[in-house]
Structure 1
Amino acid sequence: MKRTTNVIFAAGFFALAAGLLIARDQPAAGYEASVYAGTPNLAWACFGLALALAVATTLGTRGRAQAVGIGLGSMTVTAIVSLPIVRNYRFSGMGDALTHLGWTRDIVDGLLVPHELIYPGVHSLGVAFHFLGGVPIERALLATIVVFFVPFLIFVPLTAREMTDSATAMGFAAIVSWTVLPINNVATHMGVHTNSNALFLVPVVLFALIASLRRPSTVERLPFGISPYIVLLYLTGIALLLAHPQQMINVVVLVATVAGVQLLARWRLDEHPIVEQPTMYTPTIVLGTIFTVWTLANERFRTALVGLVEGVFATDVGTGAEVDQRGGSLAEIGGSIEELFVAMFLDAAVIGLVVGLFVLATWLGWTALDRESSSYVTYFGLALFPLGGIFLIYFVGTPTMAFRQVGFIYVLLTILAGVALAHLVGGLSGVITRPGANTVAALGLGALLVLGLTTVFASPLIYSPGQHVTDAQFSGYETGFEDGAEDRPHVGLGYDPYRFDHGLYGLEGEETLSGATVATGEVDPDEFEAGNYSGAYHGFDYYLIVTEFDVTREIEVYRELHYSDSALEGLDAEPTVNKVVSNDDFEMYAIASEA
């Protein structure tokens, strides 16, 4: 049996190594709308084999063998997340990621001090990689994504085991973590996105919380009787705060929920594991104070808070209108909200349903959990109510923030899913054999893994082309910004170019667009489609920027919903239009106004 297991592991790690080498051997030659399509099929076959063997050994073995199986699966998923680095992307991310790149560049250039940012964690680590590794800032930030991601894969199964002392729960939690449910590609992304990156640190804080509750107060004490796990809770909470405060406040809410349940239990119960656990009153106050002092001292946070309050009371802001608009646009290009839901959220919906039913069964006393393990499930389950309340506030006020909140909720659900699936499969093994139950679980989780991993990155599959930034794009933007007339705005085709100004020059200097007399923006699609190129931007002379990303998004993915191929081709025949910059992935036109 041991020899067979060793052969399986050898095959799995060989497949993983082969997949990485094959992917590395075929780097991206130009802009890629999908990292999935760009990566060779043979590499995906190798990754698939490694994951299949990892799932089988994680569920079918125990002890050291199970740990190696979890390691194989976690390393394979990390390899998939690392594909932009492996395949030599210059950078990935055209929205917030470029702004974060700019802030990192400002820190490197000495124009910005890290603590002046409300969330300097990602940027500071990127700066460290840049100086210590001697790599470009863009590549340093891509490496930071991976470094932040790894703790999620490690501490989700560790937290599930700490909650239940069950190797089975640990194995299931590990597999569910490989689906990367906190990433929804609506408001959380696998990229340089500090809110999303912070999500992957949350399980470290949760592990410290559960460990501080579970470990006896008479052992493992620091001087003055301080629990090392409480210290770890404070330190990881501060690390999370520096990564992004929104996820820190969610942790404060969770810890406060634990404290509230403990207070109620001590009032109503004489004997229960909750009564014997260390109280979370002080940690709630300490973490809440740290959060308050840090955030209220930052103007950016105060501005965001005001915007949220205004959004709550505005009548024309909310997720409902946004969903209706996107649903109509999808219908026009042959898609549907239902189709998109299956691709993006079916795996999350299944896990959410399983966890919801399990928590309810636990509260009704229908599970085999002991009273102490049930208390941890109760803590997480009850915390979903205030966390859900925050989601509703965001839903009404700032829709994007609502889906960020969903990301945090799914960190909790991922951990709870390990406990829930362990009990579900345990019950199923009483009906059929244990190997049969594991086989059913492996097939079901395998399907969820496919759904989860095919939407970790944006791609045309979810009507969102990949945000791969090539050398040619950076070069084109840099040439256009530096050689263009100062009084002419740079206008994008459905995309405002100011983000590239951030990425190339930072936000603290006074370069190019920041000194322009006319704001940047997007060309008017109706005027552009009518062939009125001169009047397509408020009657100004302007530079129109068209990248391979724009063409892929508007022509191939959106199927000419806003801009058509014929309108783009018409630029070359228009006498008021001159192409002034051109390379493989970038074109810039100087367009004279009607005046």
Structure 2
Amino acid sequence: MNRSVLNVTYAVGFFALAAGLLVARANPATAYEPSLFTATPTAVWVGFGIALAIALVTALACRGRQQAIGIALGATTVTAIVSLPLIRNYRFAGMGDALTHLGWTRDIVSGNLQPHELFYPGLHSLASVLHFVAGIPIERALLLTVVVLFVPFLVFVPLVVRDISGNGLAVGVAAIVSWMVLPINNIATHMGVHTNSNALFLVPVVLFAFVAYLHRRSTVERLPLGLSPFSALLYLTGIALLLVHPQQMINVVVLVGTVAGVQYLARWRYSDHPMLDHPTAYTHTIVLGVIFAAWALTNERFQSALSGMATGMLSADISGGQTVDQRGASLTEIGGSLGELFVRMFLDAAVIGLLVALFVLVMWLGWTKVDRETSAFVTYFAIALFPLGGIFLLYFVGTPTMAFRQIGFIYVVLTILAGVAIAQAIGGLSRYFTMPGANTVAAVALGACLVLGLGTVYASPLIFSPNQHVTDQQYSGYETSFDHGVDDQPYAGLGYDPYRYDHGIYGLEREAPLTSAGTASGEVDPDEFEAGNYTGAYRGSDYYFAVTEYDVTREIEVYQELHHSEDALSDVSQQPGVNKVVSNEEFELYAVESTNATDGATV
């Protein structure tokens, strides 16, 4: 492409991106949004779409500096999409673990908790620094931290592939696949304040340091005690990953240990192989393992997690298969199916995974023209997937949620391998078409996968999971309720336990709970609630019943009254023994007298 035309094309792309950002910023969220995607103005998506289309084509067709500009355009656009809760002025995002992380950050800021007292203080410490340095609210600092930790994923995936293969097309493909954000599955990994998921985006940084070490040919550059600069970088990035979340550090140790094992076998089996020229990873496996053990094994939270997994593996009541069956039955009741959900959430990931698997198989059979050096690195990562997959199976039997977290890490590795695999496929297509023709086919296919990937980067009704948007009204509603509620009266939610808001508003480290939501909370019993027994729907005692716009959207619109009906909810305030005590546009709190308190009367 003519350089002048290319420059104009890039200008159009960056202008479209800037226009999208300006429109998004000019249209902040004013109420709860069930879907971030549909609530964001169409003009924003038009601008982002133009930018991504230009970035995708140039990442495939260009090389050198021009390709780098295209990759930068695409990475910036994807970062903008991930930043939409921040750009559109969300009060906060995340109603589960995210609120607990908000509470811990609040504790660090207030001095009630020291960072080293947390098992994974990286996210919270960085947010605290941003809060103090920039003077922004803690909630906003956490949302900004999510973006800061996400960016390395987009930067280092193509860098790792460049170091592995040196193929410009593979670098461009790897960049595009990274824009799909495949490690996020919205089952156990989420785009938001979720330390396990946030740690996934730092893994390519550690792998880049590791690949750089393996590529080192000279022994001249040494630090004191003979330590390689790349080894030091690997240890430092590993420690950073450990502080964000130790589970992903375990996976890195397994991957590095697998590479060490492959190197040992190669030295025993071959007399001439590229692996023999790579420095060994034996010491790095031991050092990284010791760093993890020193941090984790003495931690009570880690011990309880191990105990829970062991219990799950030995118990017939806990299994991934049962979880899948239950979800499938629920989806059928609301008119969906596991097949439909799979297509929406995992089709792009399945396609990428299948392409990588086929490529590795064909490469091992010797049917490709991959050079021996690249083949060695692909073999390292591919063989590492076997023990990583074994860990997934253990999790699936014991704690299914952890299994889907493991899939997140596996897809970090697959994202890297996909760059090499798809580049080889495009090269193969070029023998039947021209190279521009092969790039066109690849651009269409990758573009479709990119739309699927970015369309599920945040939860939405599309995947039967509404956006976890915390609005000012919801936050202030819970805050008012906790501040003025009776101390020993528990709180119950509509399919949601309010204790997370207690964490987010007041923190977790205090001498005694400030509200009863910190010690006594739960959900109303769906059967009793639907039967009209509102006064007896929660543990047979007086309680506060909290309901938000998020709850109503989830239960009525998304779950289609599977557990709670609109009629039952609308009847609550009309019943004896039920009084509305707090109300705003998106939050209502009812004081409910128990059946015993109303002389055994039921509704």
Both structures adopt the same fold (TM-score exceeding 0.5): yes
The DSSP-based 3-state class of the residue aligned with 2:547 is strand
Provide, for residues 327-369 of structure 1, a one-character-per-residue CA deviation record: whole Å limited to 9, x for no partner: 1111111111000000000000000000001111111111111
Cα separation, 2, equivalents of 1:279 and 1:367: 27
1:525 aligned partner: 526
Cα separation, 2, equivalents of 1:400 and 1:386: 18
2:354 aligned partner: 353
Cα separation, 2, equivalents of 1:24 and 1:515: 38
The DSSP-based 3-state class of the residue aligned with 1:534 is helix
Cα separation, 2, equivalents of 1:84 and 1:443: 29
- Residue pair 2:482, 2:515 contacting (<8 A) in 1 also: no
Cα separation, 2, equivalents of 1:263 and 1:107: 45
Matches within 5 A, 1:245-394: 245-394=246-395
Aligned length: 595
Matches within 5 A, 1:445-456: 445-456=446-457
Cα separation, 1, equivalents of 2:111 and 2:138: 14
Provide, for residues 305-340 of structure 1, a one-character-per-residue CA deviation record: whole Å limited to 9, x for no partner: 111111111111011111111111111111110000
Provide, for residues 557-592 of structure 1, a one-character-per-residue CA deviation record: whole Å limited to 9, x for no partner: 000111111001101211211100001110000011
Cα separation, 1, equivalents of 2:594 and 2:115: 43
1:457 aligned partner: 458
Matches within 5 A, 1:407-446: 407-446=408-447
The DSSP-based 3-state class of the residue aligned with 1:589 is strand
Instruction: Give the Å deviation of 1:510.
Output: 4.3
Provide, for residues 241-284 of structure 1, a one-character-per-residue CA deviation record: whole Å limited to 9, x for no partner: 00111000000000000100111111111111111110000000
- Residue pair 2:483, 2:515 contacting (<8 A) in 1 also: no
Cα separation, 2, equivalents of 1:242 and 1:382: 27
Cα separation, 2, equivalents of 1:158 and 1:417: 13
Instruction: Give the Å deviation of 1:377.
Output: 0.4
- Residue pair 2:128, 2:138 contacting (<8 A) in 1 also: yes
Provide, for residues 33-85 of structure 1, a one-character-per-residue CA deviation record: whole Å limited to 9, x for no partner: 11101100011011000000000111111110000000000000000000000
- Residue pair 2:491, 2:517 contacting (<8 A) in 1 also: no
Query: Counterpart amino acid of 2:92?
Result: F
Matches within 5 A, 1:532-547: 532-547=533-548
Listed as ranges, the gaps of 5+ residues in structure 2 are 597-603
The DSSP-based 3-state class of the residue aligned with 1:579 is strand
Instruction: Give the Å deviation of 1:221.
Output: 3.6
Cα separation, 1, equivalents of 2:375 and 2:182: 24
The DSSP-based 3-state class of the residue aligned with 1:543 is strand
- Residue pair 1:487, 1:518 contacting (<8 A) in 2 also: no
TM-score normalised to structure 1 length: 0.99
The DSSP-based 3-state class of the residue aligned with 1:581 is strand
Listed as ranges, the gaps of 5+ residues in structure 1 are none
1:204 matched to 2:205: yes
- Residue pair 1:111, 1:509 contacting (<8 A) in 2 also: yes
2:125 aligned partner: 124
| Worse-matched range after superposition: 363-372 or 553-562 | 363-372
1:30 aligned partner: 31
1:6 aligned partner: 7
Cα separation, 2, equivalents of 1:589 and 1:340: 36
Query: Counterpart amino acid of 1:393?
Result: L
Cα separation, 2, equivalents of 1:237 and 1:329: 41
Q: Pick closer, same or farther for the CA change 1:527–1:419 going to 2, 3 Å.
A: same
TM-score normalised to structure 2 length: 0.97
- Residue pair 1:202, 1:240 contacting (<8 A) in 2 also: yes
Give the percent of matched residue pairs that are identical in Structure 1 and Structure 2. 69
Cα separation, 2, equivalents of 1:511 and 1:585: 29
Provide, for residues 105-164 of structure 1, a one-character-per-residue CA deviation record: whole Å limited to 9, x for no partner: 000111111111111000000000000010000000000000000000000000011000
- Residue pair 2:28, 2:89 contacting (<8 A) in 1 also: yes
The DSSP-based 3-state class of the residue aligned with 2:264 is helix
Instruction: Give the Å deviation of 1:530.
Output: 0.8
Cα separation, 2, equivalents of 1:269 and 1:433: 39
Cα separation, 2, equivalents of 1:534 and 1:357: 59
Query: Counterpart amino acid of 2:190?
Result: H
Query: Counterpart amino acid of 2:138?
Result: I
Query: Counterpart amino acid of 1:123?
Result: H
The DSSP-based 3-state class of the residue aligned with 1:157 is helix
Cα separation, 2, equivalents of 1:316 and 1:257: 33
- Residue pair 2:502, 2:518 contacting (<8 A) in 1 also: no
Cα separation, 1, equivalents of 2:511 and 2:86: 31
1:56 matched to 2:57: yes
2:601 aligned partner: none
1:145 matched to 2:153: no
Query: Counterpart amino acid of 1:523?
Result: V
- Residue pair 1:481, 1:512 contacting (<8 A) in 2 also: no
Q: Pick closer, same or farther for the CA change 1:7–1:406 going to 2, 3 Å.
A: same
